Amino acid sequence: MSRDSSRWLSWHTVVVFGFLYLPIVTLIIYSFNGSGVGGFPPRNLTLDWYRMLFADDAIWTSVLNSVLVAFAAMAISLAFGIPAALALDRANFPGKVLFRRLVLLPLILPGIITGLSLSILFHDTGVKLSKLTIILGHGTALISVASTEVFAGLQKLDRAQEEASLDLGASYWQTFWRVTIPNLRLSIIGAALLIFTLSMDEIAVSFFLIGRDNTLPLEIWGRLRRGITPEINAISTIIFLFSLIAIVTWYRLRTGEGKAEIAAEVVEAGQPS
């Protein structure tokens, strides 16, 4: 390939990475800045904001709520997403195409629509908004993530293994638990990690389903309406670190499968077709 275009492309890549990471890096730097979130250059290196953060009960309550919601959402998404993936991969039934599109719809639709329509449902059925409603909302929205990941894992599954198991005398159920699920282990773990991370950050759906208990993003959101403090920088930095660990772990788990497949799968994750 020609020298010129590769040089131009390299510069472009540097610029794009700069653009992507600049805000995050700024945020982290200013979380240590004594003079607050703005102003250049940063001075007064301090850990005060972190100290404030750790003493802030409301934040930690919301973190707890978020973690609770995330685990519950994970459970729901996997419990319904794994069967959905299996159904899409193996079963034929009337309305299968419609089913597939419906399952994947919340991924591509702006979260506001999913959140709104669910809040109408709860309103009309008299269900009070609370952690439960948030859990139901997240679970619904994230079933698509679970089913996409597991579906991709199923594509790679060697049918011959299942056939061998049946041939050796195991029933369908036994084969499912002894052969199918273990082979899907990586997909399921990857899906779980992804769902957890997405749930922790979820705002759009949660916005409409929140009761008295805040999740972490909504707690931060509330404070932002009242005014900016560097404490938010501090919690953001911590969120960044956790996201970093989560996503690198997720990626490493899947590394054996090849990069293009992963890229393709994440793409599939967003396409309702």
Partner 1 sequence: MFSRAYRAAITVPPLLWIAVFLVVPYALLFCYSFWSVSSSQVIVHSWSLDNYRELLHVHVYLQTLFRSMWIAARVTIFSLLLGYPLAYFLSFYAGDRKDLFYQLVIIPLWVSYLVRAYAWKTILGSDGVLNTLLQYVHLTKHPLEFLLYSPFAVVLTLTHIYTPFAFLPIYASLEHIPRNLVEASHDLGASPMQTFWRVIFPLSIPGVLAGATFAFVLSLGDFLAPLLLGGPSGLMISNIVVSLFGAAYDWPLGAAISLCMLLLVLALLFLSENLEKRWSFR
- 189 to 248, contacts with partner 1 by CB under 8 A? 197-198, 200-201, 203-204, 207-208, 217, 220-221, 224, 228, 232-233, 236, 239-240, 243-244, 246-248
Rounded to whole angstroms, how far apart are CA atoms 256 and 248?
A: 14
Closest to partner 1 by CB, 213 vs 219, is: 219
Q: How far is CA 86 from the centre of its chain?
A: 21
Out of 156, 172, 178, 211, the only residue in the binding site for partner 1 (CB under 8 A) is: 172
Token couple for 61: 């309550």
75 is an interface residue for partner 1 by CB under 8 A: no
184 is an interface residue for partner 1 by CB under 8 A: no
Stretch that binds partner 1, among 44-52, 132-140, 149-157, 181-189 (CB under 8 A): 132-140
Residue with tokens 């929140």: 210
230: cis peptide before it, omega within 30°?
no
Contact 73, 215 (CB under 8 A): no
Q: How far is CA 168 from the centre of its chain?
A: 40
169 is an interface residue for partner 1 by CB under 8 A: no
109 is an interface residue for partner 1 by CB under 8 A: yes
Cβ count within 10 A of residue 204:
17
Q: How far is the CB of 57 from partner 1 (least distance, A)?
A: 20
Q: How far is the CB of 130 from partner 1 (least distance, A)?
A: 16
97 is an interface residue for partner 1 by CB under 8 A: no
Rounded to whole angstroms, how far apart are CA atoms 180 and 158?
A: 9
